[in-house]
Structure 1
């Protein structure tokens, strides 16, 4: 399995490509602000062609270039329906400070948008990706999950869980309690060796966060799942 990525734009949002191997189809996860040029370099370096654009949630810093990337390659954008409206009206999910900077920003509608369902299995680019709905940072936040050839789990976590931290919940649609319930039920239930590739910052593992993340100190996988 090939996983590569880079931090895009002023938000330094991690954009990833995932493929069975170089020289074929891939999926693109979270092509944020100013992601296109670096993504094109990465695709050319590994001789990859996108088969889909996957969005972990609807915030501007993860969706900014989704339509541009998807339409350039004639592929769909996948997003959870609870964040769907933010694809074209990103200010609905942003702070007052962001509205002051970006104004009444509108983003283009991708040519094709598909809904992501909880617990679905997406079969794209020769891969099988699980979908775990993890609301809290946003209502429609999801994590994409897969397994390497040696059995190691991999989670593309968006802004749900970071190294030493968790996603902010002070933006529209956010809920700290819901976020913790999501992490407990959908992430802490996984093996300690599971690799987490977050939306910002370095990779981590479930084991490392279980042991050291102060936000998870009182959480267990049986705490319960957000409804």
Structure 2
């Protein structure tokens, strides 16, 4: 738990309001900066590499990456995801059809990638729903919303997937973390207030040793 390094602490490449991050498979780290409405990429030593700015997106939120080092950004207001190369070039938007994306998303807030299936998993806090898209973004693979046992609005604030394909979903307002298998089948409520949590889980991630890290 010792602090080893800080990223974007000062200067022209300062992180003003980092909301989410993803670690690329080459060790580089991409942060979504809500204040600057961009994604900033650093190497593992904390050195700034580049800025990714998509002018078609406003109110960006979550960010993730896949095995090809493509960076996937959740654009809440435009109801879609944008896929960029590591160099920042726009590759595609998901779903590509405007009418389709408006039927799928209302406010895509958080996003994760399943390395086993290629699915792109999106948490929509307005719809109170988690939706998994195929790797090309054209098919809905599964959907999840907790049934029962919650008193408040389902806010999927953070999603992560471990190396075995298990999916973990943080429910900020109901103060729980859910565990699903790769197909989207609910397995159990892993954590809750008084059972591993002190409050609402804002962000979660897994490490290479199989640990689940939770910010609450």
Q: Structure 1 length normalisation: TM-score? A: 0.32
Q: Which has the higher helix share?
A: 1
RCO higher in structure (CA 8 A, sep ≥6): 1
Q: Structure 2 length normalisation: TM-score? A: 0.33
Q: Which has the higher strand share?
A: 2
